[in-house]
Amino acid sequence: MVTTYRPASVLEALRLKQQAQAEALFVAGGTDIMPAGRTAPVLIYLQGIDELREVSKSEDVLRMGAGCTYTQLIGDKRIPEILRESMQEIASPAIRNVGTLAGNICNASPAGDTLPLLYVLDAILVIGHMDEQGKLRTRRLGIEAFIQGVRRIALRPSEMVLAIEIPCAAYEQMTKLQRFKAGARKAQAIAKLSFAGLCRVEGEVLQDVRIAFGAVGATVIRSWTIEAKMQGLTLTELAARRTAIVHEYGRILRPIDDQRSTAAYRRQVCLNLLEDFLRL
Amino acid sequence: MEDISKAVERKDHRLKMSGRAEYTCDKRLEGMLYSAFVRSEIAHGRILDITLPDLPAGYVAVGGHDLYDNHLPVVTDEQPVFAVDEVCFVGEAILLLAGPDLATVRRLCRETKVTYEELPAVLTLDEATEMAAHYHYRKGDVEAAFAQAAQVVEETFTTGYQEQAYLEVQGMVAQWDAENGKMHVFGSLQAPYYVKNAVMRVLGLDDEHVRVVQQVTGGGFGGKEDYPSLIACQAAAAAKKAGAPVRVAYDRREDMTVTTKRHPSRLHYAAALDAQHRIIALKADICLDAGAYPGLSGVVLQRSVNVAAGVYKIEHLDVDGRAVITHTVPNGAFRGFGGPQSIFAMESLMNHLAAKVGMTPLAFRQMHVVQQGDDTVTGGKFHQYVPIPDLLAKVEEMSAYSRKYAAYSQPQTGRYRRGIGLSLFLHGCGFTGSAEKDILRARVILRKYADDTVEILASNVDIGQGLKTTFSKIVAAVLDLPLERIICPNPDTDRVPDSGPTVASRSLMIVGKLVERAARKLKAGWESGKEQEAVADYEAPELIPWDMDKFSGDAYPAYSWGVNVVELEEDRLTGMTKLLGVWGVFDVGKVIDNTVMLGQAEGGMLQGIGYGSMEKMEAAAGKIRQNSFTDYMIPTAMDTVPNQIAFIDNYYADGPFGAKGAGELTLLGGAPAYTAAVEQAAGKAYPNIPLTPERILAAEAK
């Protein structure tokens, strides 16, 4: 027997979750759990919660509710164009109509389509729970801390993701934004690997640079250490060190051979895309 | 009379679009039991013991010992219906369990313990030694020609599995009528009488006591030629033992793991060229991976060797073909039936030879193409007009192939590079050799009712390829009746004569001709308001007799012809490609319905391009790794561009209204045209398909 609920508010959803504890599953779009045949004694459907579908943008922060579907976000001009492009390449229209960005994060697949980009956008997860007085409490966690491993996330049983926040100021100043998903076909394909790179060049100097790779490790790979070394380089210096930097990234990628691709291909394409991105 | 090619609304359109079509899985019979298989988990071994859990009341288990005869008849009869002593591939059926609750049946299967003694397994074609079939033919004096050659070029090609990927998975429902001792079988299938004959033999029932009815079938592509016989026998055995109807319904992973696929192959070619760059002699050594049992592999191999030299006239030939046994899933029929492997290899070889002698692929081909009156490779004749010049002229006009080829031959720099590839191909229509005359002897009956509607009684099936529509159009055109007055129900072997299976691009050309002839008879004696019947039996055309032992004569009564051009852009950083143009020009005699034929052409070309590019399927330790639509990639509409397609009329007197075989032809050219385009873009030769981005980049790195 499966009991299903369709709460109308975040607090109600959290209360239901708390009552049921670990046996309950939140369902946003359901596009990952359905094909996997996953279920639980209690299913809490989130589609009825309007506050989870809100998008807001201030000068500093873009906030996307956890219930926003890809289709909704693709159509919202406040969302960075590069993120909308990446969502446009996910699966098929039917999946995009119900699947959610927050779901893509919480599924924590190493091949999650939006993840490398969210890493370089410094995305933050807004997490909510209900305290003893029945009040909503929230905490914030960077995506790199939130995703802990393959299908492992830093979410306690009593918590839910309320929203994804992106600090706007930094990405709006980026001078080069690139992303690439290598899928075996142009729709309905799980990424063999993916790449995202953002940088800001000012006065021939690399002021900010962020690079992430998907599907070549248990989680998205982003190295703040290597990024720090690149920061402040002049373009001439960067060109001189490009091969060495690519080599350094090559050492931290952990691609595997599986039914979708080979480790050698994944590594080589990641590094080809990186090398291309670093031609500034 | 209006041109018969003009498209009409398909006969099955409203049924399918309204959702009313009843597929096998929709069939519900009173008291029907659900079923699941206990399957081999190892590639090769001896079964030492099978321990079943206690079966609750109403649950049964059937295996080889329950059958009258455990040999499945598919050309040969090596394959058991259920493995009894030995298992020969991962997924081979050992037992079928059936009962009222599917979850319980599945649990009982999981709780069944099979103990094996593992035996050495042959997992690849390269290790295999046991032959399922072997054919060899020669023409001229190959040794002498090689001895005097100015240049000899050798190359080895390989091709992978291809999965039919029909939308509807395999399924069958069997119902035992104990009172009359009769078995009724309903299923998704291409060959009602193959299924009937198999069930008769395996259960020891006679002709009167087995009935097979085709349900609406969601695609076959050859995958439902031989395989349904197996599950029909298994379901029927369970139904008889249980005394209740039993349904076998695969899920996608099960289907992709255990059902037949296109044979992986290795093809070694050696070409001898004279000083004028003409191929004077060719040796081809073709090896197909049959999988664990021979099944259709011998017949598939016949087609591989028959088209080993493609559309080219080569004086001295030596062609050797083998199908070898491995401990992997048995391979079987798939659109093209052994042709795609050879056509890919020969077309690629032509490109590579052209490059070697400094000619364009097109000019080098034109030096060698066959013409009407030329001998075929097996000493038959191309009796009818060979329209290759017309096909080439048309595709040139549509695609500007030569201009683009010249442009892309210039050095290309930057991330994206372009290429354009061309393939020429033929398909022998109908069965190889004399099977039509000696074995099948097809018959069609037209039954006219008192209200002057006419029913087509034939065992050929509509599996999405539009046969109900094209058959009905032929009858309507001959009798000058509106299409609505022609009835073409799904075959029921209690009602329809055996007009053979729906395979080998024979249904329209061979059986359609019988439909036309029966209609003409009916017309001659037409009396309005009266019940009448007309029968037409197969009559063999005048041909050079086929000798299977010598492998000589006319292998096919007629040939269909085609040319494909593929233009694309390759991404140097990723090895990924983007199609820019796809062109196809075909000679299928006369098109019976424009929309139906366009569907065949667009689908066939994309299936061919998929075969050459992304449809990767491998076995690891004998187990198929890509066994879902998530991991086995077939192209979607997003992966192609609007195809430009044209047909050339080339009337064939022994086909209805001039029509020839069309279904398989359209798949043959996609893979070689695709790889040729990638080769031009990347400036490298790729002898292995599928040519995935992984393979493109690996070659780049060398």
Q: Is B289 helix (H, G, I), strand (E, B) or coil?
A: strand
Are B124 and B326 a contacting pair, CB within 8 Å?
Answer: yes
pLDDT of residue A1: 80
The answer on pLDDT for B297 being more than 80 is yes
What CA–CA distance (Å, rounded) separates B555 from B544? Answer: 9
**Which residue in B106, B163, B568, B576 has the most chain A C-beta atoms within 10 A of its own C-beta, making it the best mutation to test that interface?**
B576
Are A115 and A190 a contacting pair, CB within 8 Å?
Answer: no
**Which residue in A89, A109, A186, A274 has the most chain B C-beta atoms within 10 A of its own C-beta, making it the best mutation to test that interface?**
A186
Backbone angles phi, psi at B495, to 5 degrees: -115, -30
Cβ separation A188–B636 shorter than 8 A: yes
Nearest residue to B135 (alpha-carbon basis) of B353, B433, B425, B366: B433
What CA–CA distance (Å, rounded) separates B601 from B564? Answer: 11
CATH of A51-169 among 3.90.180.10, 3.30.465.10, 3.90.1150.10, 3.40.50.300: 3.30.465.10
How far from chain centre, in Å, is Cα B259?
14
What CA–CA distance (Å, rounded) separates B280 from B87? Answer: 47
CA distance readout (Å), B160 to B221, B267, B320, B578, B651: 17, 12, 20, 22, 36
CATH of the domain at B367: 3.30.365.10
Last residue of a domain, one of B215, B249, B283: B249
In a domain, B260, yes or no: no
Mean pLDDT of the region A32-57 = 93
Alpha helices in B22-101 (DSSP H): none
By the 10 Å C-beta count (0-12 exposed, 13-18 middle, 19+ buried), B269 is classed as: buried
Count of beta carbons in the 10 Å neighbourhood of residue B480: 8
Max Cα–Cα distance, chain B, nearest Å: 80
More confident residue, B279 or B74: B279
pLDDT of residue A21: 65
Same domain, B526 and B562: no
Mean pLDDT of the region A112-134 = 97
Query: Model confidence over A170-186: pLDDT tens digits?
Result: 899 999 999 999 999 99
Q: How confident is the model at residue A35 (pLDDT cuts 50, 70, 90)?
A: confident
What CA–CA distance (Å, rounded) separates B359 from B365? Answer: 10
Nearest residue to B428 (alpha-carbon basis) of B259, B599, B303: B303
Architecture of the domain spanning A174-277 = 2-Layer Sandwich (3.30)
pLDDT of residue B702: 64
What are the tokens at B58? 């109403």
Last residue of a domain, one of B229, B249, B269: B249
Same domain, B570 and B649: yes
The Cα of B628 is separated from the nearest Cα of chain A by a number of Å equal to 11
CATH of the domain at B39: 3.90.1170.50
What CA–CA distance (Å, rounded) separates B642 from B665? Answer: 19
Cβ separation A184–B638 shorter than 8 A: no
Q: Which residue has the tokens 């001078």?
A: A175
Which residue type, as a one-letter code, is found at position B613? S
The Cα of B658 is separated from the nearest Cα of chain A by a number of Å equal to 39
Same domain, B475 and B459: yes
User: Whole-number mean pLDDT of chain B?
Assistant: 97
The Cα of B113 is separated from the nearest Cα of chain A by a number of Å equal to 25
Q: How confident is the model at residue A23 (pLDDT cuts 50, 70, 90)?
A: confident
Half-sphere exposure of B246 (CA within 13 A, CB side): 29
Backbone angles phi, psi at B121, to 5 degrees: -115, 135
The answer on pLDDT for B209 being more than 70 is yes
Report the domain count for chain B: 3
Nearest residue to B159 (alpha-carbon basis) of B694, B692, B697, B577: B692
Mean pLDDT of the region B63-81 = 96
What are the tokens at B642? 């609007």
Cβ separation A265–B630 shorter than 8 A: no
Which residue type, as a one-letter code, is found at position A263? A
Mean pLDDT of the region B242-254 = 97
The answer on pLDDT for A150 being more than 70 is yes
pLDDT of residue A22: 65
Same domain, B86 and B50: yes
Same domain, B533 and B566: no
CA distance readout (Å), B289 to A187, B292, B360, B688: 32, 9, 34, 15
pLDDT of residue B700: 77
The answer on pLDDT for B7 being more than 70 is yes
Are A90 and A113 a contacting pair, CB within 8 Å?
Answer: yes
**Which residue in B574, B615, B623 has the most chain A C-beta atoms within 10 A of its own C-beta, making it the best mutation to test that interface?**
B574
Mean pLDDT of the region B532-550 = 95
ipTM for the assembly:
0.95
Q: How confident is the model at residue A38 (pLDDT cuts 50, 70, 90)?
A: confident
Are A11 and A136 a contacting pair, CB within 8 Å?
Answer: yes
Same domain, B509 and B600: no
Same domain, B632 and B664: yes
What are the tokens at B446? 């037209």
Query: Model confidence over B566-612: pLDDT tens digits?
Result: 999 999 999 999 999 999 999 999 999 999 999 999 999 999 999 99
Which residue type, as a one-letter code, is found at position B400? A
The Cα of A270 is separated from the nearest Cα of chain B by a number of Å equal to 9
pLDDT of residue A37: 85
Same domain, B525 and B572: no
- Which one of A182, A187, A259 has the shortest CB-CB distance to B576? A182
Taking only Cα atoms into account, the Rg of chain A, rounded to an integer number of angstroms, comes to 19
Nearest residue to B279 (alpha-carbon basis) of B268, B271, B287: B271
Range of the domain at B519: 435-537
Count of beta carbons in the 10 Å neighbourhood of residue A82: 17
Roughly what angle, to the nearest 10 degrees, separates helices B670-682 and B339-357? 30
The total number of residues shown for chain A amounts to: 280
CA distance readout (Å), B540 to B435, B496, B653, B654: 10, 22, 13, 9
Cβ separation A269–B631 shorter than 8 A: no
Q: How confident is the model at residue B699 (pLDDT cuts 50, 70, 90)?
A: confident
Are B341 and B286 a contacting pair, CB within 8 Å?
Answer: yes
The Cα of A131 is separated from the nearest Cα of chain B by a number of Å equal to 42
pLDDT of residue B2: 85
Same domain, B695 and B578: yes
What CA–CA distance (Å, rounded) separates B429 from B463? Answer: 19
Instruction: Tell me if chain A has a CB within 8 Å of the CB of B635.
Output: yes
Same domain, B633 and B696: yes
Domain boundaries, chain A: 51-169, 174-277
Are B322 and B288 a contacting pair, CB within 8 Å?
Answer: yes
Cβ separation A273–B573 shorter than 8 A: yes
What CA–CA distance (Å, rounded) separates B357 from A172? Answer: 57
Query: Model confidence over B95-134: pLDDT tens digits?
Result: 999 999 999 999 999 999 999 999 999 999 999 999 999 9
- Which one of A186, A188, A262 has the shortest CB-CB distance to B694? A262
The answer on pLDDT for B1 being more than 80 is no
pLDDT of residue B149: 98
Cβ separation A272–B636 shorter than 8 A: no
Roughly what angle, to the nearest 10 degrees, separates helices B339-357 and B594-612? 70
- Which one of A260, A269, A273 has the shortest CB-CB distance to B631? A260
Which residue type, as a one-letter code, is found at position B95? L
Are B473 and B415 a contacting pair, CB within 8 Å?
Answer: no
Three-state secondary structure string covering B11-47: CCHHHHHCCCCCEHHHCCCCCCEEEEEEECCCCCEEE
Same domain, B558 and B530: no
More confident residue, B84 or A35: B84
Last residue of a domain, one of B537, B564, B596: B537
Backbone angles phi, psi at B450, to 5 degrees: -60, -25
What are the tokens at A190? 């799980």
Which residue type, as a one-letter code, is found at position A123? A
* Cβ contacts of A159 within 8 Å, gap of 6 or more: A14, A127, A128, A129
What CA–CA distance (Å, rounded) separates A185 from B630? Answer: 11
Report the percentage of chain A scoring pLDDT > 90. Answer: 94
Same domain, B570 and B665: yes
Strand pairing of B577-587 and B644-647?
parallel
